[in-house]
Amino acid sequence: MNCLVDGNIPPSSGLSSSSALVCCAGLVTLTVLGMNLSKVELAEICAKSEHYIGTEGGGMDQSISFLAEEGTAKLIEFSPLRATDVKLPSGAVFVIANSCVEMNKAATSHFNIRVMECRLAAKLLAKHKCLPQEEVLRLEEVQAKLGVSLEEMLLITEDALHSEPYSPEEICRCLGISLQELKTQILSPSTQDVLSFKLYQRAKHVYSEAARVLQFKKICEEAPDNTVQLLGELMNQSHVSCRDMYECSCPELDQLVDICRKSGAQGSRLTGAGWGGCTVSIVPADKLSSFLANVHEAYYQRSNRSLVPEKQSLFATKPGGGALVFLEA
């Protein structure tokens, strides 16, 4: 099989360029072999494939790559994987702005440490609620087993976890396991030497962020007069939580988010894994041209960042269709 690969997604920018490549490779291989899989099956295979380079990622990027439809956003849910249409407000545009700080998830451990902190937090929460922690890997599983709301999970997190970082030894005491068991049975290879874990902050971010996703969908469905303002407020809350609780922002992203808000965005936040990459802002449609001009001047012209091709660094976007194969007639 001979392949020529080309692409226009800026790499290491938080816009899922690696997932795009993996999904493209999966779809092309299926086509060449004359095989058929459902979009859901293909998304799940591609999500597993990315783990082979050492990043403990989820399946959101691969899912939207295949399940996206033109003109609608999608609420992605897992276990089982499914996608629900969400109609975005007509009076607003979502704008991507690249901080031009590259983040290579495969070459650094930040990303995997967060995954392990969430895993450990899930196990401590399970233990606190007398659930078998051995069977729990994800925070969502604790909520599902308890059958409670996200808001209740936030209260349980306040009750069960302390805000000071946990040492590996304290985690072992809490779970009733040895240090060897922690390293070999729970932690991934790249996180076995980490000396402190912030469990309270990570759990609080995950549960509150999940609640914001559902609130975002609800506002889009109810479509009140101030929809754009309300969605913007949720995006702003999200960035604060990413910055302070999940600690996956960086100074350039914080600066760019601030500039976007001052330039007319109702809300702005980092997108993708963080530590660099892009912001996404919700901008009233009638302010789009002035917003683009203001952000270009304030962030890109005042530094060497203008060397990055502008069409890759600042652009308005709308929901497009998912991965396709074009066959020549």
Structural Rg of the chain based on CA atoms: 21
Element (H, E) at 83: strand 82-86
The pairing of strands 314-317 and 92-98 is: antiparallel
Q: Locate all alpha helices (DSSP H) within the chain, ordered by sequence.
A: 17-33, 39-50, 60-67, 110-128, 139-146, 150-160, 168-175, 179-181, 199-222, 227-244, 251-262, 288-295, 310-313
The answer to whether 179 and 172 have CB atoms below 8 angstroms apart is: yes
The answer to whether 73 and 60 have CB atoms below 8 angstroms apart is: no
The answer to whether 269 and 236 have CB atoms below 8 angstroms apart is: yes
| Count of Cβ atoms closer than 10 Å to residue 329 Cβ | 2
Can you name the residues that pair with 73 across neighbouring β-strands?
86
Nearest Cα residue to 302 out of 256, 249, 253: 256
Q: Locate all alpha helices (DSSP H) within 266-327, ordered by sequence.
A: 288-295, 310-313
The answer to whether 160 and 124 have CB atoms below 8 angstroms apart is: yes
Decide if 244 is catalytic: no
Active site residue: 6, 61, 258, 286, which one?
61
Catalytic residues: 61
